[in-house]
Amino acid sequence: MIPQPHSDTFLRHHLWRPLLIFVSCVLALEFSSFDLWLADHFYHWEGGAWRWRDAWLTEEVVHRGGRALTGMAALLLLAALLLAQFVPRWRPRRNGLWYLACATLGAGVLINFLKHHTHVNCPWDLVRYGGDRIYIELFAPLPAGVRPGICFPAGHASAAYAWFGLYYWCLRCAPRWRWWALGGVIALGVIFGLSQQLRGAHFLSHDVWTLGLCWLWVTVLYLWWYREPSPSRLVGEGATG
């Protein structure tokens, strides 16, 4: 049985509780020094320089390889959409695949938009870590004459977290796989995020914001997408799982 998206239990577990955890985490990070404390430890552990910035594992495997991996996933999704459009046996999956495509693309667009409209710098740009820019907190105003950074939220982590829609796609079409999908996306996002922190590209809070925003986006879209569930559509999608 497919859970009804607008039930109190569904909203509590998928929207309100994650929102509360997200807000608590970002407030704790914003009003503490944990971001700097963690980056300081990474920086000093690497010998007073971001030695992992151009390392083979972090740059070639996780950064470039990760982008190639998510790019391949996007191509597979496109292929599935084409099959659902033109192959009769795939048509019952079409609505769910369109949700997944819009969820993934929308999450990426949201994070990219915010990156170009916030003023946060990467750790490797800061004077504290050998750069030439000052540290400015997220909610602090940008001082006059200071060039804004384009490092927030975390773009590379969003390449993984944008796929949170896989959880909801599985929930409708293959429920037994939903936790594997969720766990896989989170694991990949943590790997991407930690790698970028080791390179000096992001603070921890950047990844937390990205995770939270992507989850909230795909959840709100899911609630809108299935706002008036059709019994025939539910039977069709459920039968494909």
pLDDT tens-digit profile of 34-48? 999 999 999 999 999
> Does 139 map to a domain?
yes
The tens digit of pLDDT for each residue in 109-156 reads: 999 999 999 999 999 999 999 999 999 988 888 888 888 999 999 999
Task: Please give the residue range of the domain that contains residue 94.
Answer: 8-240
Is 92 part of a structural domain of the chain? yes
In this structure, is residue 187 part of a structural domain? yes
What is the DSSP code (8-state) at residue 189? H
Query: Would residue 66 count as lying in a domain?
Result: yes
Identify the pLDDT of residue 146: 87
Q: What is the pTM of this model?
A: 0.91
Specify if 122 maps to a domain: yes
* Nearest-angstrom CA–CA distance, 169 and 1: 14
Residue 15 lies in a domain: yes
Question: Quick check: is 21 in a domain?
Answer: yes
pLDDT in tens, 159-200: 999 999 999 999 998 999 999 999 999 999 999 999 999 999
Taking the C-alpha atoms of residue 166 and residue 103, their distance in angstroms, rounded to an integer, is 9
Domain for residue 61, yes or no? yes
R_g over Cα of the chain: 20
